[in-house]
Amino acid sequence: MSSESAAGAVMRRALPSAMAVEALEAGPWRDLLPCWTLAGAIEEAASRFPDKAAIVQLDDDAMGSPRLSFAEYRDRIFRAANLFRRGRGDAEPVVAVIMPFLPEAFVAMWAGGIAGRYVPINPFLDVEHVAAILNAAKADILVSVPPERGRGVWERLDALLERVPSIAQVWLAGADASDARCFEAALGREDSALGFVPATDPAGVCAYLHTGGTTGSPKLVRHTHEGQLFQGWLCGMAMGPEEDVIFGHAMPNFHVGGAIASGTRGIVYGQTIVTLTADGFRNPAVMPRFWDIVRREGITAIVTAPTTAAGLADAEGDGPASLVRYTTGGGPLPLEVARAFDRRFGIQLKEVWGGTEFHGILSFHYDGGVPPRLGSCGRVVPFHRVISAVLDGNRFVREAAADERGVLIAAGPTLIPGYVDPAADKGFFVEGGPDGLVWATTGDIGMVDEDHYVWIYGREKDVIIRGGHNIDSAAIDEVLAQHPAVLHAAAIGRPCSSKGELPIAYVELKPGARVAEGELAAHARAKIQERAAVPVDIILLEALPMTAVGKVSKPHLRIMAMEAVGRAACPGRDVAVEEKGGKLTLVVTAEDEIDRARIDRIFAPYTFTTRIDLAGAFA
């Protein structure tokens, strides 16, 4: 590991302009870091900053601040790596990590990547879904917390283990020391020096990250040492590369926003991470005390989902204190949220864009005193290319014209080698892309302007198709979010028998706000220039469904809309929606064969799939 560190220091030079990026790209990207494996990077950070705080952990009241130095961090990681490797008879283990925001989560993740591979998993998925991910990864070690820790899949640990026969060892962080599964006690019995030769190939796989799919067929991407470390460097350049940065950790560790933008970035740059309690912004104490936490801990930078920024802009609090960089990711940043945040706190929100399949970000707003271009996700990151393309399936046809929206495809060093299941690669990699590079689709519709700024107009699957007319759902979201009473808005296509889809919008109001659907509809009609894009219905919900990273879950809303269509067409019938392979099926229960034929005629004009079951058929 010391030979890796001899290459030099981390490149921290600011990138104020396109010229600076071009100068950087004139050299090899491998010169950016002194080492390109997880073990080497952790050793390097501990050698350079042994006594500096690597992680500061706030307690459940967002008050206490236990600190873990980089030297202690390395020792725990290496002890855990020895534990994992020895537990599998020196074979490379697959270590599943299902935990809250705790230092032990990062310890288990990096140790798993050094000893073999780690798999961070959303603890709020149901047991069947988590079991499917574990089985797809062939996980043999599980690190979690005791069932009494609170809400999470660990509450059903026994049921989970019954479904995953490959798990041979279970370790529980925070368990009583007398429990044979106590993770901390087990680490105390291991040596702090690695007892095996860690990976030396930077292109070697160190992690599997879940990125969608279905309960029956989850999609796992293969992450490499160099991909994660390169992205750690990119995220630092985007969010502050200085050694004295203190970074608020609020994105979940099973997402690249937590694992890479927080965890790996902290190791690469030797920066301190402040974890905003074990539950992050799910903890009700964090939002109202956020600015007090920033001031007390000296937090200078943070990345969150746009919905969190919207909540802070509308919550009590007196301002930025030490915070100078606020980055949003994981979903589109509404213009009104960015403007409101700037007006209130004097901080310009900077949006990044990327994906798990690229280990993290593909664009960010460079430093240099230039305000971010609102509506854009920033410039393409160094050493990568992004273009808007016209595709035939996944075959490259041509680059989109300047005034034409296409699918954004990308190439560069952080592109993953593929999925755990190679069958998923076919729909991801682009055939026949330009310049002999390996290209892959991002699934986003957008453009890249002459200054290399990326503009996103929505996901391919978020386009509403009304009678053959393509409607940008994000444009509807943006208009509704401008209304002063609206906290979150999300437009989707509701199935229609004659038009295919009609635009509708779900809206969550700000706390204490009151507004009628009619007023919101009038606001939309006045602001949306494209008449076909005006929502035919606006539905107020107490809270919009959110993903685990804090962005609105449009797939959940599509299910709600389809169920509503089914119930309206067949009142009194049992109606449900099943999702498999990303495809929705409306399931309706008929009373008899005559009723089945009638229901079949009702839904024949619709474009979605319908399954009609007979009542009592499976009794």
DSSP 364-375: E---SSPPP-TT
Tell me the sheet residues that pair with 354. 361
pLDDT digits (tens, 9 = 90+) for 46-59: 999 999 999 999 98
For residues 183 and 92, what is the distance between their CA atoms, to the nearest angstrom? 19
Give the residue with greater pLDDT, 63 vs 6: 63
DSSP states of 524-557: HHHH--SGGGS-SEEEE-SS--B-TTSSB-HHHH
What are 458's two structure tokens?
A: 């929505």
- Domains, the chain, in order of start with CATH, read 460-562 (3.30.300.30), 566-614 (3.30.1340)
What's the Rg (C-alpha) of the chain? 25
Count of other CB atoms within 10 angstroms of residue 615? 14
Instruction: Determine the pLDDT at residue 177.
Output: 92
Looking at 35-39, 262-266, 268-272, 277-281, which range is the least confident one?
A: 277-281
Q: Identify the band that residue 9 occupies on the pLDDT scale cut at 50, 70 and 90.
A: confident
DSSP states of 209-242: EEEEE-SSSEEEEEEEHHHHHHHHHHHHHHH---
What secondary structure letter does DSSP report for 261?
I
> Is the pLDDT confidence value at 2 over 50?
no
**Chain-centre distance of CA 60, in angstroms?**
24
Residues 6+ apart with CB under 8 A from 467: 498, 499, 500, 532
Question: What mean pLDDT is reported for the chain?
Answer: 90
Instruction: Return the SS3 of 83.
Output: helix
> Is the pLDDT confidence value at 123 over 70?
yes
Cα(first)–Cα(last) distance of the chain, in Å?
Answer: 64
For residues 149 and 120, what is the distance between their CA atoms, to the nearest angstrom? 18
Instruction: Determine the pLDDT at residue 617.
Output: 58
> Is the pLDDT confidence value at 340 over 50?
yes
Mean pLDDT throughout 353-369? 90
Mean pLDDT throughout 181-201? 96
Element (DSSP H or E) covering residue 566: helix 554-569
Q: Identify the band that residue 213 occupies on the pLDDT scale cut at 50, 70 and 90.
A: low
β-strands 439-448, 453-459 pairing: antiparallel
Q: Identify the band that residue 469 occupies on the pLDDT scale cut at 50, 70 and 90.
A: low
For residues 172 and 182, what is the distance between their CA atoms, to the nearest angstrom? 5
Q: Phi, psi at residue 499, to the nearest 5°? A: -105, -5
Mean pLDDT throughout 365-379? 85
For residues 34 and 41, what is the distance between their CA atoms, to the nearest angstrom? 8
Please name the residue that has the structure tokens 């930077």: 202
> Is the pLDDT confidence value at 412 over 80?
yes
> Is the pLDDT confidence value at 29 over 70?
yes
β-strands 353-355, 360-364 pairing: antiparallel
Q: Identify the band that residue 3 occupies on the pLDDT scale cut at 50, 70 and 90.
A: very low
Residues 6+ apart with CB under 8 A from 323: 248, 294, 299, 300, 301, 302, 347
pLDDT digits (tens, 9 = 90+) for 73-89: 999 999 999 999 997 88
Element (DSSP H or E) covering residue 79: helix 70-87
